[in-house]
Amino acid sequence: MKARPAAPWARITAITPVAFLIAQAEAQLKTPVILIPCGVIPSITIPEEAIRPKPDSPQQEPASPETETPTPKPPSAVAAPPETGQPAPKSPRTPQRRNTLDALQALRSWDSLENEIERTVTISGRKVIGFHVHEIEGDALAFRDQNYFGQGGKRFTDNTDLTIRVNKFLGFLSMDWHWSNSRFRNPYDARITYTYESPNLTVEWGDITATLASPNPLVNFQRTLKGATAVARVGNTRMRYITSETKASARTITIQGNDSPGPYYLQASQIVEGSERVQVDGVEKRRGEDYTIDYFGGILRFRDGTIIPRTSSIVVTYETYALNAAPNRLDGWRVETALGRGINVGFTALTQKSTMRRGLRRRQEQFYGFGAPSTPYDLQFPPLRDANNPVIITVAGVPQVEGVDYYFDEVLPYRFYFTRFMPQTLIIQVEYTPRPDPSSTLGGDREVMGIDLTLPLGRRGNLVWNAARSKAQALGSNLEATAHVLTGSFEWGKLRLSGTWRDIPAEFVGIESVGFRRNERGYQTDLQYRFNSATSVQASLNRSRVASLNPFSPTFSVGFTDTHIQTYTLTHAPRNGFQLTLTRNTNSTRTPSSRSEQARHALNLARSWRNLTLSLNYEHTDSESHGGLGIGTRLAYNIQSLRTQLDWTPDQRWTIRASAARSDTRQTQTSGGRTSTLRTDARDYTLDVNWRPNDTLGINYRWRDSNSGGLSTPSTLPRSRQFGGTPLPNFGIPTNPWGVGFDGNGFSSGAPLYSGYTYYGVRGKGQDLSIQWTPRPNLSLDMQWSESRSVGDFQTNSAQESLTIGASYLPFSWLTLSASWSKQDVRFLTATGTSSNEFLTLSTDIGPLGRFTINLNYYAMKTRSVLGEGFQGGQGAFVQEPVGVSARITYAIGRSQNLFAEFHRTDLKGYQPSRDTLFAIGYEYRLTRNLSLVAGYRFREQLNLDPQYSQFSYRARSLDVNLNWMF
């Protein structure tokens, strides 16, 4: 088949940015190659604009492309584009840059160069280079994994974890570099980013967050990438160019409320920090104030007392790292210019080319024991679990059996549990193949080109027209469409009016990015009238027809939903006194097979006094839906919710915070002439009290009670965890190759199909008490007690109680005595099983006493786990009693020289018995404050006393020489 010639604008896309940037960066000055203590500074080319003198008047130089908008707008018109929801960029003062020629004076002498490096360069971390001679008897793989950070058995080892940051070296060069070569590192923790900045040219390459900064919502783009971006400016024109390979995939998912604050699982782990945006029923929430998020596990939780009803939709958009995902090649550019008199015009183009998927990579992760079997272990990526890609888990070198020693969560694919207590002294290693992430672009290449035009309407408003044409290729067929978005904003005194008209056909397919955009035709109008500085009224009307693609169709297949949303809000917020907000919202939705209507009324009151803050929220919701569940089916909800929060600080010794929320839901279903009614009562109560009566005593108490009012598990299925999730389908089911939504997301895609996340319930109670007491300057006592009970589809169904008591005593300046005792009892509620654990530790620190420093430790544990009928893992009794001692003696033979000896011994009785012995002697010499040389002899013996696992034992003798750098 003959290759089809590229479109003319595509050739311009590839040629224009490169030529433009080359023209802007003609060399004017080169610095010599310089040797410095931490490396080599290569020859640096300084472009002409970097050494050009700055204009004396601000009017002689246009605004910075990164900080100001070329066209002035009325104050009322500076608002977020309706499609992105992002606030408009502010206009801070352009940062002052040092004159480059003055900065080059730092190269004239070593003293000035050293001062420049100290001012701009920061290094932190460690690096250990080692030489080893080993004599190993037994299982060499077990020795490798349990020693030298997973490098046991190697002649030479290198353990590096360094961060180097350079902040505008010579006034225009920056670098952010982090590197770790650990076998168990997160691959996305490593990064390197270079930045060159001058008044008219900024170049950034490496691991970057790239954006085209386009106000056109049809071509707007922001992603975490590995590539380069450049911004150049000439007069009133500026240009931005990006070229890269994708590093993270964008997702937008919809989750139904579950009558509780959460947790809500986002169907992904390893979420890019700060990339998420959260909406509840179209209202955007703020992190830290409205919700918290665990980026590692992908867990969202709203603030205490916030009940999200089952009729509400939570929409979350975010980026997630995917280790075995197929990367895409991205190229884009944007040119915009100010034509004068407030008229702006911009052109944006973006292309995405699919690349060949690379071979699947396996990875290894390590954990120390987390304790009770009710505590989960979360892998960094969801694993494949098939015959070709097995999950291998070892504990102290001994392989574990799935279904007997551990089991994976039914719904959260990256989470697993052990069936017995795991002490913190044990090393757990997991080797697996991360699941290939389908991303939200399932195949094909994409191209989008757009134009945006801003026209001022006098001093009272402006009009913005956005248009774009897209082209997508998949499975040998093409899909093309043109979309338009028109936005206007006006202001007459106290009245502000804005409107948006959208025409985004179902065939319009863009480049995936974080956002709440979708294919729709319709309009939205917003009106606000401000009576005075404290009182205003707002009205909003939205009518649209939303297109959604069929994810199971191998061809282009579309369904439509008609929506009609009205919102009215009255706000009264005086500086002193009660603040009042009244809201009415109606939402009507129709599809060919169903229709629904919802009306919500809300009242918010808030008042702050000197030491007291009080808030009260009341909501009443009526919703009704017809069809969808069968012919003649009617489903109605009546929900009433009340929430109050109190923050009180009587004095400096007391802090009290309480929140209470209740939600009464009445569900009525009519089908086939029969009517059934179900009523649930959800609640969420919390109380936090902090009391510090004096400088020696501190008491903290927390109580919580949360109940969503219902669980989705049938009572006939007793399990250690509630039933949930749908098994993944067999391969071969046809899937839609276009993605869903015009940016590859929509409101329901980006996550793997059959992810199994549906409505779930949670119930939980708990209380925590901690006391810290220092009766004497050399004596401290502390106590922690907690009691909790949780049941839910995504919760460990168990009741737990734990108590920990600790003491620390310093009878002399050279002697410290410490002791800790703890006990934990776990009882599973939906299965027959218990776990009881008791732990004792004793520690003594002596020194410096003369030339000696001595550390002695002893610990003993008794753990018993009995698992019976209904438990997901292996059934039976798992009893273990580990006892361990350790000692280290250091003798100073000079100011910077030490001799040391250490001994560790752990005996484990019961299930999988073992004996672990380590002995080491050595010599340490500190060459500088940051560099030391350590040489020694090391003996390690790991014996598995169970004959079934005796082949995994080893005995090793090693001679070690290490150079340690600490920064």
Give the mean pLDDT of 269-298. 82
Q: What digits encode the pLDDT tens for the residues 6-50?
A: 443 443 334 444 343 334 444 444 444 444 333 434 444 444 443
Residue 815 lies in a domain: yes
pLDDT above 50 (res 538): yes
* pTM summary value: 0.71
User: What's the confidence (pLDDT) of residue 352?
Assistant: 82
**What residues form DSSP beta bridges with 498?**
489, 526
CA distances from 803 to 696, 860, 879 (A): 22, 16, 21
Quick one: 843 and 919 in the same domain? yes
Give the mean pLDDT of 766-786. 94
User: What's the confidence (pLDDT) of residue 632?
Assistant: 66
Residue 172 lies in a domain: yes
pLDDT above 50 (res 741): no
Low-confidence winner among 78-82, 264-268, 278-282, 532-536 (lowest mean pLDDT): 78-82
CA distances from 576 to 607, 613, 617, 714 (A): 8, 12, 19, 52
Quick one: 191 and 108 in the same domain? yes
Residue of 857 and 871 predicted with greater confidence: 857
Annotate 682-735 with three-state secondary structure.
Answer: EEEEEEEEEEEEECCEEEEEEEEEEECCCCCCCCCCCCCCCCCCCCCCCCCCCC
Percent of the chain with pLDDT over 90: 32
Quick one: 347 and 399 in the same domain? no
Give the mean pLDDT of 673-680. 83
User: What's the confidence (pLDDT) of residue 509?
Assistant: 78
pLDDT above 90 (res 284): no
| CA pair distance 620, 640, nearest whole angstrom | 5
Average pLDDT, the chain: 78
pLDDT above 60 (res 99): no
User: What's the confidence (pLDDT) of residue 631?
Assistant: 55
pLDDT above 70 (res 873): no
Quick one: 346 and 391 in the same domain? no
Q: What digits encode the pLDDT tens for the residues 121-137?
A: 998 889 999 999 999 99
Quick one: 810 and 875 in the same domain? yes
Quick one: 342 and 385 in the same domain? no
Of 297, 320, 353, at which residue does a domain stop?
Answer: 353
Give the mean pLDDT of 192-205. 90
Residue 396 lies in a domain: yes
User: What's the confidence (pLDDT) of residue 880?
Assistant: 87
Write down the residue that tokens 């070329």 correspond to: 70
Q: What digits encode the pLDDT tens for the residues 886-942?
A: 999 999 998 899 999 999 999 999 888 999 999 999 999 999 888 999 999 999 999
User: What's the confidence (pLDDT) of residue 567?
Assistant: 94
CB 832 within 8 A of CB 860: no
Quick one: 69 and 193 in the same domain? yes
Residue 810 lies in a domain: yes
| Amino acid sitting at position 357 | R
Q: Which among 314, 255, 261, 278 has a CA at the least distance from the CA of 641?
A: 261
Q: How many domains does the chain have?
A: 3
User: What's the confidence (pLDDT) of residue 831?
Assistant: 73
Q: Which domain holds residue 242?
A: 8-122+159-247+336-353
| Amino acid sitting at position 308 | I
User: What's the confidence (pLDDT) of residue 767?
Assistant: 93
Of 432, 456, 476, at which residue does a domain stop?
Answer: 432
Residue 805 lies in a domain: yes
User: What's the confidence (pLDDT) of residue 681?
Assistant: 85
Instruction: Give CA angle at 330 (324, 332), nearest 5°.
Output: 160
Residue 20 lies in a domain: yes
Percent of the chain with pLDDT over 70: 77
DSSP state of 794: T
Residue 410 lies in a domain: yes
Quick one: 917 and 854 in the same domain? yes
Quick one: 340 and 396 in the same domain? no
User: What's the confidence (pLDDT) of residue 101?
Assistant: 57
Quick one: 235 and 376 in the same domain? no
User: What's the confidence (pLDDT) of residue 150?
Assistant: 81
Quick one: 416 and 347 in the same domain? no
Give the mean pLDDT of 714-742. 36
Residue 264 lies in a domain: no
Quick one: 172 and 31 in the same domain? yes
Of 353, 378, 402, at which residue does a domain stop?
Answer: 353
